[in-house]
Amino acid sequence: MVAADPMVEHQIKPSTADPAVTRFDESNIAIARKDLSVTAPLVLFLPGTGGKPENVRGLLTVVAEQGYRTLGLSYDDVPAVVQVCPRVPDPDCSAHFRQMRLDGSGPGAPGVSNPAAEGIVARLVATLRALDRAEPEEGWGGYLSGDTPRWDRIVLSGLSQGAGMAAYLAKSVPVRRVVLFSSPWDFTQPDRKLAPWMAGPSATPPERWFAEYHKREATADLLAESYRALGIPNDHVLVFDRDLPGNGGGPNPYHGSTVRDPGYAAQWRFLYGAP
C-alpha cells in the first residue's frame, strides 16, 4: 500500500448511467489508485437508509489506497427493512424485501416495490459500463461478463441496510469477500426472532465473511447474534469502541460512526484485507 500514490475519482449519477433510473439519484463515487492493475478487485459499498456514497468517501479512499477499486453505489434505500418487516408476521418478509431491492423480482414487502432498473444489480452493471465507456483504460469493465457482474472479483460491503443487502446477496452468489458494518439484524415480532435467510446456506464460504459493530450502538446484542447466525468466524468480527468524534445526535449515534470516523482506518484495512 502506498498512500501517497495519486488517486482518481469519478462521480456519476445513476440516471446518467441508465435513464431508466428515476429516483434515489445521488451520485455514485468511484475511487482508485492511478497506477492500479486492471486485475485488482472491486469493493462495492452500499450506504445505509437515507445515506449517500458521499458520506463514506473517507472510507472508500482508505480502501482504495490499499489496492482496490472502490465504488459507493446509491440505491432505493427508503424505507428500511426494520421499518417494514418486524410488524409483518411472515418470517420471509425481509428476504422478499431484499430480493426486490436487489433486482426487482419476487413479491416484495408491504409498500416496497421497484422496477428491475432500480435494483442494485442493474445499477451496478449500468455504472460499471458508464465508467468503462468514460475511462476504458482504468479497468472498470473487467468486473462484468456481459450483463452479469463478475462476483468472484467483487467485495460486497455496506452499512446498516446496505450491509444487509450485501449479506443477502453473498448468500446466493460466491463473492470475493463480504465486509459488514452494523447489519443485518432482520427479525420478526413479537419475539424478535431472526429471519430464516440469515442462518440458511451460503454460496460465499464463511472464511470470506468479515463484520463489525460498535459496542455502544443500540442493537449491539442483536448484531452479535446475527453474525453468529450468518456463520461469521469470531476472529473476523471486530467490536469498535471509540467515543463519538463530535457531538453525535440521534437515537443511535454510534451506529454510523464506524464508517465515518478516520480513527478506525486500521480496522477498515483489516476488514477488507489485502487485495
The model's confidence at residue 132, banded by pLDDT at 50, 70 and 90, is very high
Asked whether residue 248 carries a pLDDT value surpassing 80, the answer given is no
The pLDDT assigned to 5 comes to 66
Condensed to tens digits (0 to 9), the pLDDT of residues 139-181 reads: 999 999 999 999 999 999 999 999 999 999 999 999 999 999 9
Integer CA distances (angstroms), 75 to 25, 40, 78, in order: 8, 24, 9
Q: Report the SS3 class of residue 98.
A: helix
210 membership: H or E segment, kind and range: strand 209-214
Condensed to tens digits (0 to 9), the pLDDT of residues 68-119 reads: 999 999 999 999 999 999 989 999 999 999 999 999 999 999 999 999 999 9
Torsion of CA 65, 256, 93, 18, to 10 degrees: -50
Give the E-state strand segments of 13-75 in sequence order. Answer: 28-33, 42-46, 69-72
Structural domains in the chain? 7-272 (3.40.50.1820)
Q: Given its phi and psi angles, is residue 198 left (phi above 0), alpha (psi -120 to 50 degrees) or beta?
A: alpha
Integer CA distances (angstroms), 216 to 86, 208, 258, in order: 22, 26, 11
Q: What is the pTM of this model?
A: 0.96
